[in-house]
Amino acid sequence: MTIEILGVEKNLRGTKITVKHSAVLPYTPAYTFFLRGMADVIDSKFHLQFTEWNDLNCGIVWAEDEFNNIVGCICYDRSYKDSFIPQIYSILTFVDEKHRQIGIHKIMYRYFQRQVSNLKCSVITSNVHHKNTIRLISAEKDGFVPLQYLMIKKI
């Protein structure tokens, strides 16, 4: 596993944010942050209670604060990288509650999109719960547009 430093930036409070990347999700320092974020989103009822990814198909971009604490991540799945429309599926973007609204997602997203381009993919897909209004707004800021409703009926 190789960890790359993609860049060093300042958040909206002016403190240092280091953006890192690993093309392989397992064994990264951000692994449990990602799992806790996913559990948090499930507990918020913004995701169903199941694991949709295979670790080995996933990579992760994450952000560390000036004390080297992980404060955010974007985990992605490259299973469809070689499909008819080469695409990357963003499994989860998550920012620690105490570090929200200071631009961390925006910083991570810029670097994440560059990784997607490096993989020669021109499309990013993401599932967002229809009531997750904050992510719907931030996704729109990232340039995403809603495409379809996933309808579900439990029987």
- Residues lying near ligand COA in the complex (CB under 6 A): 41, 46, 92-95, 100-106, 128, 132, 134-135, 137-138, 141
How far is residue 48's CA from residue 50's CA, in Å, rounded to a whole number? 6
Cβ distance to ligand COA smaller for residue 73 or 121? 73
Name the residue nearer to ligand COA (CB basis): 82 or 130: 130
- Contact between 107 and 17 under an 8 Å Cβ cutoff? The reply is yes
**CB-based contact 107:9 (threshold 8 Å):** yes
Instruction: Please state the closest distance from residue 135 (CB atom) to ligand COA, in A.
Output: 4
Contact 17, 63 (CB under 8 A): yes
Nearer to ligand COA, 34 or 94 (CB): 94
Measured from the CB of residue 98, what is the shortest distance to ligand COA in angstroms? 11
Q: What span, in angstroms and rounded, lies between the C-alpha atoms of 140 and 143?
A: 5
Q: How far is the CB of 124 from ligand COA (least distance, A)?
A: 12
Two structure tokens written together for 141: 């800021």
Task: Read off the DSSP letter of residue 101.
Answer: T
The nearest distance, CB 97 to ligand COA, in angstroms, is: 8
Nearer to ligand COA, 58 or 92 (CB): 92
